[in-house]
Structure 1
Amino acid sequence: MKLTSDQLDGFLLRVLVAVAEEESVSRAAAKLNLPQSTVSAGLTRLRTIFNDPLFVRGRNSMVPTARMAELYGRIRSVAADLEGLCVPEATPAPADINREFHIGTLDYISPRFIPDIIARLLQKMPRASIQVHALSLDFDYQESLETGALDLMVGNWGSPPEHLHLYPLFEDEIICLARQSNPVLKGGFSQADYLAADHLGLFPVNANQLGVIDAYLAQMGLRRNVKVVLPYFNNVPNLLVQSDLIFTTCKRFAGEYSKDLPLQIIPSPISFPAMRFYLLWHDRTHRSPACREMRECVVDAIARSDT
């Protein structure tokens, strides 16, 4: 059903306010930088919409009717609100950003990855707050980005969704990590040894897809023996120290733990492609000044990191 209010628009409201303030069609036209005929036509339409003359002739100017006098304050407020809606969003200074950011990631790069990002964000935006969301099989990160439950994702999937914005962070070599006394490593570590060994795996982020390592092996027609599957990376090092399991991962993650634990990094006997890490975000936050600043902070934190 078409309403009377459907005939109103921002232009007509501006005409009405200008005529009311100038008390003259000609002066209102000059103020709006419009032909007088355009303002007169607009006023005619307004009189029909409100079913009231709105202005009548006085001795030296146009005089508002009682109806117009009653409406003027509300109309002026609506016109100002409409104009305000079209003003470009101001870009706040980073120190003035007071917003809660939501970042989805895994602890798969290094123990310092998340702390480095948070430290940089708080340094640049001290009034902001941050929530880091761990990914799991039942976590729909695409829906979370679309609804705003997440502002940003750190990912390393082989084929990220095409509808999301992507910014490449870095690539990392894939190696194997095992305890130093692991008998599997005696006498070398061949492809046959790799496939015959017992492996430690992680739940893939997407329940319907293989992880990066197993997906690549499947493309080659190969399959490893994943004996143990964990939900989190932070349990990996201590389990490796106490078992003969092999863990295939990126070099940055392995390097942190091999410094302090009896673990060794072994070149992978299978030439896996480098693991690509990147940021993902939805178009809903793409133009947000605060979210843009947040993404720049994340990129900067990773660039500064020596992990």
Structure 2
Amino acid sequence: MKDHDYLALDGHSMHVFLTVLEQGSIASAANKLGITKTVIGQCLTKLRSVFQDPLFVRTGGQEIVATARAENLGERMRVVLSEMQQLTATPVFKPQQAVLHFTVGTNHFLRDIVLPEWYRQVATEVKEFSLHTITAEVPSLALLRTGKADVLLSPVAPEGVDILYKRLFIDQSRCFFDGNVRETPRTLADFRQARYIGLHLPEGQRAGSITAPILRELEQQVAVRVPNVWDMASFMRGSDLLAIAPSMLRIEALAEFSAIIPPFNLPPVQLFMLWHTRHQSDSAHQWLRSQLETAVAHVMQRAKSVKT
């Protein structure tokens, strides 16, 4: 038998062989399988060539008997077919037995307010869980395509057929300010005369992220730019600066500041969960995504309970 002959083996032929072995008759095997004796003969011919053994020999008339090699092969083929069946079965994900390692690309605020809750939620359900984060205000899709991240949390819906996504929430913007230092801005004129603090976004992302005309106008009044929302609090504290930001920042990052609904329309703030198509059907990945949805829902519920 040549080293590569085993590649000619197939599950169907082995199943036919085992049926003939169990039935002790080609006719009985054909009847049980619902196929012709010709098909059975073709399968046995293939196996005889692979194993260089007749496998079954006639004892007289139409009766056949398995060779010693065939008897030995029968036990081993049952094991192989059982393993092939398990190989094609849909895996059942059992969190309590799982060892998971996950990387999430997200901005600083979501990293600090959503991911801790998600981590605690997942860690109590699985055997072992490790989490790594990659922070950027708008995480790059390349993180998913290169496998450097398993999921992204982004305010921007993706482009590309290989990236899947689900919207996790819609939030509204608020105007934040230090009420101990300045009066509440109430009119459009108040907002046009104010100074602002904003986030520093990478080249090319700022223009795409500002769609409302009023925001493009107020963008010209930004006096300070910082890399993340936690730094915004440091500059706003004790100053007259205003910040136009998602209302969910009232939970932690800007919890100490006054917040009002601006007297002009602003586009909704959205959060999307993004993942690559190669992970779409993975049961562990599906479970982790569902847990992330739950964690975000809990955070949003907390945000709604905070009075403006």
TM range (shorter): 0.7 to 0.9
1:116 correspondence with 2:117? yes
Aligned to 1:254: 250
State the alpha-carbon separation in 1 of the partners of residues 168 and 139 from structure 2: 23
1:288 correspondence with 2:282? yes
Change (3 A) 1:110 1:306: farther
| CA contact 2:102–2:130 (8 Å) conserved in 1 | yes
Tell me the amino acid that sits aligned with residue 55 of structure 1: F
Aligned to 2:19: 18
**285-294 or 100-109: bigger deviation:** 100-109
TM-score with structure 2 setting the length: 0.76
Aligned to 2:100: 99
| CA contact 1:179–1:264 (8 Å) conserved in 2 | yes
SS of the residue aligned with 2:99?
coil
State the alpha-carbon separation in 1 of the partners of residues 47 and 76 from structure 2: 15
SS of the residue aligned with 1:57?
strand
Change (3 A) 1:222 1:233: closer
Which one of 49, 64, 89 corresponds to residue 87 of structure 1? 89
State the alpha-carbon separation in 1 of the partners of residues 128 and 272 from structure 2: 23
Tell me the amino acid that sits aligned with residue 40 of structure 1: G
Tell me the amino acid that sits aligned with residue 169 of structure 1: L
Q: CA deviation at 1:273?
A: 0.7
Q: What does residue range 22-33 of structure 1 map to in structure 2 within 5 Å?
A: 22-33=23-34
SS of the residue aligned with 1:210?
helix
State the alpha-carbon separation in 2 of the partners of residues 256 and 91 from structure 1: 35
Q: CA deviation at 1:252?
A: 1.3
State the alpha-carbon separation in 1 of the partners of residues 11 and 185 from structure 2: 81
CA deviation map 1:38-91 (0-9, x unaligned): 21222123334555433323466423265x567656554443332222222224
Change (3 A) 1:32 1:143: farther
| CA contact 1:191–1:269 (8 Å) conserved in 2 | no
| CA contact 1:107–1:114 (8 Å) conserved in 2 | no
SS of the residue aligned with 1:12?
helix
SS of the residue aligned with 1:99?
strand
RCO greater where, 1 or 2, for CA within 8 Å and sep 6 or more?
1
SS of the residue aligned with 2:292?
helix
State the alpha-carbon separation in 2 of the partners of residues 187 and 74 from structure 1: 81
SS of the residue aligned with 1:303?
helix
Aligned to 1:241: 237
State the alpha-carbon separation in 1 of the partners of residues 137 and 237 from structure 2: 27
Tell me the amino acid that sits aligned with residue 277 of structure 2: D
Aligned to 1:278: 272
SS of the residue aligned with 1:154?
strand
4+ aligned runs moved over 6 Å, structure 1: 218-222
State the alpha-carbon separation in 2 of the partners of residues 297 and 14 from structure 1: 42
Change (3 A) 1:196 1:35: same
| CA contact 1:196–1:224 (8 Å) conserved in 2 | no
Tell me the amino acid that sits aligned with residue 66 of structure 2: V
Tell me the amino acid that sits aligned with residue 127 of structure 1: K
State the aligned residue count.
295
Aligned to 1:63: 66
**131-140 or 270-279: bigger deviation:** 131-140
Aligned to 1:42: 43
State the alpha-carbon separation in 2 of the partners of residues 48 and 110 from structure 1: 61
Q: What does residue range 111-260 of structure 1 map to in structure 2 within 5 Å?
A: 112-123=113-124, 125-136=125-136, 140=140, 142-146=141-145, 148-157=147-156, 159-161=157-159, 163=161, 164-180=163-179, 188=186, 190=188, 193-194=191-192, 197-204=195-202, 207-210=203-206, 213-217=209-213, 223-254=219-250, 256-259=252-255
State the alpha-carbon separation in 1 of the partners of residues 293 and 224 from structure 2: 34
Percent identical among aligned pairs is 21
Q: CA deviation at 1:249?
A: 0.9
Change (3 A) 1:27 1:171: same
Q: CA deviation at 1:109?
A: 5.2
Aligned to 2:294: 300
Q: CA deviation at 1:272?
A: 1.6
| CA contact 1:110–1:253 (8 Å) conserved in 2 | no
State the alpha-carbon separation in 2 of the partners of residues 219 and 246 from structure 1: 13
**38-47 or 51-60: bigger deviation:** 51-60
- Structure 1: tracts of 5 or more residues without a match: none
Aligned to 2:306: none
SS of the residue aligned with 2:205?
coil
| CA contact 2:186–2:263 (8 Å) conserved in 1 | no
| CA contact 1:102–1:152 (8 Å) conserved in 2 | yes
CA RMSD of aligned residues (A): 3.7
